[in-house]
Amino acid sequence: MDRLAKIARSATPSTGVQFRQAAYGASGARDFLRDVIALANAPVEGSRYIVVGAGVDRRGQKQFEDVADLDFAGKPSYAALAGEFIEPPVRIRYQRVSVEGHQLGVYEIADCQDRPYMMRIDHSESLRRGDAYVRINDSAIKMGRRQLQAMFEQKFRDSVSAADIEVGFPGEIIHKDHALQVQDLEELPSAVAGSKLRQLIRIKSGFKTPGSTSMLARLTHARLFGTEDPYQDRSKEELISEMRNIEKQYRRADAHFLFEEHAEPLQLVVYNQGEEAICDASVSIVMPNHDAFYVASQLPPVPQDGTFIGRSLGEQDSYPSVNLSDDAVHVTCKLGDIPPGEFVDAFETPLRICVGKSLEGRRFGVQYALFAQNLRSPAKGKLRLLFGD
């Protein structure tokens, strides 16, 4: 953290360091993607940085201002946004730092060994699939054909063929299909609590005079919640308001139910069949999204003293980067080097998945792409998830 604070305080705008006075905000996704691509393609060694909350005037003097956590979150988070739109995958980490009494934010972009980086899919009319930028001095410059060709030619030299790579599900042999058990999600904590509230709401709605429901409501409450939860006389409107917040109230309990108690771990294995090591490999997978197909975006909280607490930063860092959009689940992860003849697990900590019964008998396609510094082209293919026996 002292290292990042020193960069924010003492570094100057350069090919590998960018300063930005204001947070990207909800409307700044395009600028963020452009800046990350430009820095990832920059001709510098080591990590690259975007310092947010620090402006630099014409005299080179810095002005600092606080940036709230909410400014970095976005929907989805900016780090997850990069995983969805940029290929090959880039490793981005955001940390807060304190400089001269101000809370700043620093994005660190590391392991940029697999250039060129570019847009994987369209983001907007002004940022399309295949667009690439490179940071020169303190500006992001759009790359033309000649620059891209030079990068690809450099990458092609001393490269290996994607045909030497096999990706699949682990076992005695590498499998292309994998079966996941389905679960009854009616016992989801928010679903159970919601069912109880709906019964109380029906009782309140069934009688025109408030007093006529009192005894029935008390008896129903005792049956549903037990004597440990004392009865409180709440109006129909209060119960409906509580119903609206049920998912938020039980968010951590639901996550523990889905991704700890009833989770199916999902691991991929990568086999290097060639005679040369695959350098600085990363993998990206895309799966369909569905309201009965739950993929953890992070490791679930654990119960402690009647509540749920979050995992440590080290545990969370071992989990793949997961971005959930309306119609797809995007997962990215760095693998590092893969020696020849070696099998390597794609994920340090396997994905946590929970599948509802409504998907029983169905199957989902899983598209994968493996990138590496010395691969001539990504190793791409398709796997299948089968739901139920």
Instruction: Write down the domain spans for the chain.
Output: 2-156, 162-184+264-387, 186-259
CATH class of 2-156: alpha beta
Nearest to 24 by CA among 8, 13, 35: 35
Q: How many other C-beta atoms are found inside a 10 Å radius of the C-beta of residue 371? A: 24
Q: Where are the alpha helices (DSSP H) in the chain?
A: 2-10, 29-40, 70-73, 78-85, 145-156, 189-206, 214-225, 236-244, 246-249, 251-256, 313-317
Predicted local distance difference test score (pLDDT) of residue 73: 53
Q: Is 193 helix (H, G, I), strand (E, B) or coil?
A: helix
Structure tokens at 95: 């940390």
Q: How far is CA 109 from the centre of its chain?
A: 16
Among 287, 288, 275, 278, residue whose Cα is nearest residue 378: 278
How far apart are alpha carbons 296 and 331 in whole angstroms? 11
- Residue 212's pLDDT is what? 47
Angle at 164 between CA 158 and CA 169, to 5 degrees: 135
Going by C-beta distance under 8 Å and a sequence separation of 6 or more, which residues neighbour residue 7?
17, 49, 51, 106
Torsion, Cα of 13, 15, 16, 18 (10° steps) = 40
Helix axes 189-206, 236-244, angle to 10 degrees: 160
Q: At what angle do helices 78-85 and 29-40 cross, to 10 degrees?
A: 70
Please report the pLDDT score of residue 138 as a whole number.
85
The pTM score is 0.62
Q: Which CATH class, in words, describes the domain spanning 162-184+264-387?
A: mainly beta
Kind of pairing between the strands at 17-20 and 48-52: parallel
Other CB atoms within 10 A of residue 270 CB: 23
φ/ψ of 259, rounded to 5, equals -110, 5
Are 371 and 114 contacting, i.e. CB atoms less than 8 angstroms apart?
yes
Length reported for the chain: 389
Q: In tens digits, what is the pLDDT along the chain, a chain of 389 residues? A: 588 889 988 888 999 999 998 888 778 889 999 999 999 999 888 899 999 998 888 777 888 888 876 655 544 577 778 888 999 888 888 888 888 888 898 999 987 878 899 999 999 899 999 999 999 888 899 999 888 888 877 777 657 788 889 999 998 889 999 999 999 888 888 887 777 767 666 766 665 545 445 555 555 554 555 555 555 556 666 666 666 777 777 888 888 999 999 999 999 999 999 888 898 899 999 999 999 999 999 998 888 877 888 888 888 889 998 988 888 999 999 898 999 988 999 999 999 999 999 999 999 999 999 998 888 788 999 999 999 86
Report how far apart, in Å, the C-alpha atoms of 357 and of each of 27, 95, 286 are: 38, 40, 22
The whole-angstrom separation of Cα 240 and Cα 235 is: 9
Rg (the chain; Cα; Å) = 25
Angular region, 305: left φ>0, alpha ψ -120 to 50, beta rest: left
